[in-house]
Amino acid sequence: MKLNTELNNTTNSENEELKTSSPEPSHIMSGDYVVLMETNGKEFESWYYFIRRERNEEALKHLQSQLEMVKNWYILDELSTFDIDMEHFVSAKTAKEMTKLEMNSYSFHRKFDGKLQKINFNFTKKDLRNNERMMCKIFDHLGYGQIEDYISDEDLDSEDLTDYNSSSEEETEETEDTDNDSISEDDSEEQKTSIKNIGNKGLPPSLVRNN
């Protein structure tokens, strides 16, 4: 009986690993999620990254300990500040619902169901004596949603991708329209100049001067 229980646990663990390592989102809707918050000084926005707590606690605590090495976080130029709450968690349902909010103009909140790598900022002794140096180094690793480089299986729906693609297409069309308008204006000027030159050819000098 004990052997069967161990085999079942192993199978469940393997199945979970396969789900989170698959290229398709696993859409996990159970368990607790830890919130990593990025607040950006340029965009004037805060972005929440919901990270699955199960199997990631060690990596999350390691990340927290490094973020806490910065004694005094503040907005520096166009950089971001980072904070993580390891005491209060949210449900998978709440995390998913938060990703659907349309309150930011630069980025949505994001939910990750996969395995988080252990992130090392590799602070030097010189870094540890200077808050701003540490903030810059953390931003280089995590700024503008780069947490995605350290965790797999972002929970995205097809409509999320469609919204992003539609936005990109609209921006492209606006750029093309602007370029076409500029070209049309240039063409019009060239046509006016050509018509004027053509009209002046063969005219008596006195009429040309009068024109």
Residue 20 vs residues 126, 138, 162: alpha-carbon distances, Å: 38, 26, 23
pLDDT band at 195 (very low <50, low <70, confident <90, very high): very low
Residue with tokens 């992130």: 119
pLDDT at 4 over 70: no
Rounded Cα–Cα distance for residues 145 and 109 (Å): 10
Residue 197 vs residues 26, 182, 200, 203: alpha-carbon distances, Å: 69, 23, 5, 11
Q: What is the dihedral of CA 52, 102, 174, 78, to 10 degrees?
A: -70
Rounded Cα–Cα distance for residues 160 and 49 (Å): 16
pLDDT at 55 over 50: yes
Say which amino acid occupies 113: D
State the chain's mean pLDDT as an integer.
80
- Residue of higher predicted confidence among 159 and 210: 159
pLDDT at 15 over 70: no
Instruction: Compute the residue count for the chain.
Output: 211
Lowest mean pLDDT among 17-21, 66-70, 109-113, 156-160: 17-21
Residue 128 φ then ψ, to 5°: -65, -20
What are the residues facing 85 on neighbouring strands?
A: 35
pLDDT at 60 over 60: yes
pLDDT of residue 22: 55
Lowest mean pLDDT among 99-108, 168-177, 201-210: 201-210
